[in-house]
């Protein structure tokens, strides 16, 4: 899950199956998660350097269209936008 930055996007107003334009691109450093929680440690390569990651997608009619430049398993796939986990809100 990513926080969407402010500004520059068009939203079609559909809260059930939203479309935003243009694409969202998140670039970050990969971090270590255990049981869904960040451990506070960055994932590092053999030389000890942190590993960059990219998540780039379009949200079209409630479907996440992941771009080929993603560095995760959903690269080049289309998946339904998941519901927010219980206890999380969009506020």
Domain limits of the chain?
10-73
Angle of CA points 64, 69, 71, to nearest 5°: 85
Report the phi/psi class of residue 2: left, alpha or beta, with left for phi > 0 and alpha for psi in -120 to 50.
beta
Q: What is the pTM of this model?
A: 0.75
| pLDDT of res. 78 | 98
Per-residue confidence at 2, pLDDT binned at 50, 70, 90?
low
How far, CA to CA in Å, does 43 sit from each of 54, 55, 56? 14, 16, 20
- Give the single-character DSSP code of 74: T
pLDDT digits (tens, 9 = 90+) for 24-71: 998 988 888 888 788 889 999 999 999 999 999 999 999 999 999 999
| pLDDT of res. 1 | 62
| pLDDT of res. 40 | 85
pLDDT of 87 higher than 80: no
Least confident of 10-19, 29-38, 59-68, 74-83: 29-38
| pLDDT of res. 76 | 97
Longest CA–CA separation in the chain, Å: 47
């Amino acid at each position: 899950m990513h926080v969407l930055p402010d500004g520059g996007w068009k939203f079609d107003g559909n809260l059930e199956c939203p479309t935003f334009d243009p694409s969202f691109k998140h670039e970050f450093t990969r971090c270590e998660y255990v049981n869904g929680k960040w451990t506070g440690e960055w994932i590092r390569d053999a030389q000890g350097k942190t590993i960059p990651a990219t998540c780039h997608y379009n949200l079209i009619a409630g479907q996440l269209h992941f771009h080929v430049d993603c560095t995760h398993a959903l690269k080049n796939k289309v998946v339904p936008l998941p519901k927010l986990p219980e206890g999380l809100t969009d506020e």
